[in-house]
Chain A
């Protein structure tokens, strides 16, 4: 039931772009994106509710495909502060209100 994230890890130089994907075999109610710095709690980035939705700003944005089975997080012109582990999270229909997180993507930005 857990969403599958890819890649598992990525290393970027400052200024480079990255895309993190989150996929499910079933349509999802919504997709949440969180970032977690080492040793800290996850912090909410954004939530997408509708198929075809795109959200965010110039630097960090996300999309949710029409079938609501895949979401992508786009990090543009990365900064050192973007380093951390990124998680997608969702509720899956027919599982009540249980919440599932993906396994995470470790992103490291180097100078």
Chain B
């Protein structure tokens, strides 16, 4: 089954404690992306990757890091989380550029206290 998986689904943490949200896809897609979703602001892109070892900033990259060492995995790293990073996070993938549909993971609800 074609899918994007994310872990964990829910996470409550404290300010400053490093965390990683994993994302994996089994469709051999080149393009992977992270979004955060906040009420009234829609989905905003954090980082995206066009292929292995190629990553670029999206609209709201501050406070986040990513890496793309393998085609299937695209982890999101928060080195020092802060309360304003409390949000719902989605990983997504698509074949390549914007002419194809994006497949979304189930989401990770992060709370930083």
Contact = CB atoms under 8 A, between A and B. Distances in A.
A1 B59 contact: yes
Contact of B43 (A1, A40, A42): A42
Interface stretch (B21-29, B72-80, B96-104): B96-104
Given A41-B106, A99-B33, A47 B100 contact: yes
Interface in A4-49: 29-30, 32, 34, 40-44, 47, 49
Interface residues on A, range: 20 to 34
Given A102-B42, A104-B42, A41 B90 contact: yes
Contact of A32 (B31, B59, B102, B105): B102
A99 B58 CA distance: 8
B50 to A, nearest CB: 6
Given A1-B59, A91-B97, A98 B42 contact: no
Interface of B: 31, 33, 35, 40-45, 48, 50, 56, 58-59, 90, 97-107
17 contacts: A1-B59, A2-B42, A2-B44, A34-B102, A41-B105, A41-B106, A42-B104, A47-B101, A96-B56, A97-B56, A97-B98, A98-B56, A99-B98, A99-B102, A100-B59, A101-B42, A101-B44
Interface of A: 1-2, 29-30, 32, 34, 40-44, 47, 49, 87, 89-91, 96-104
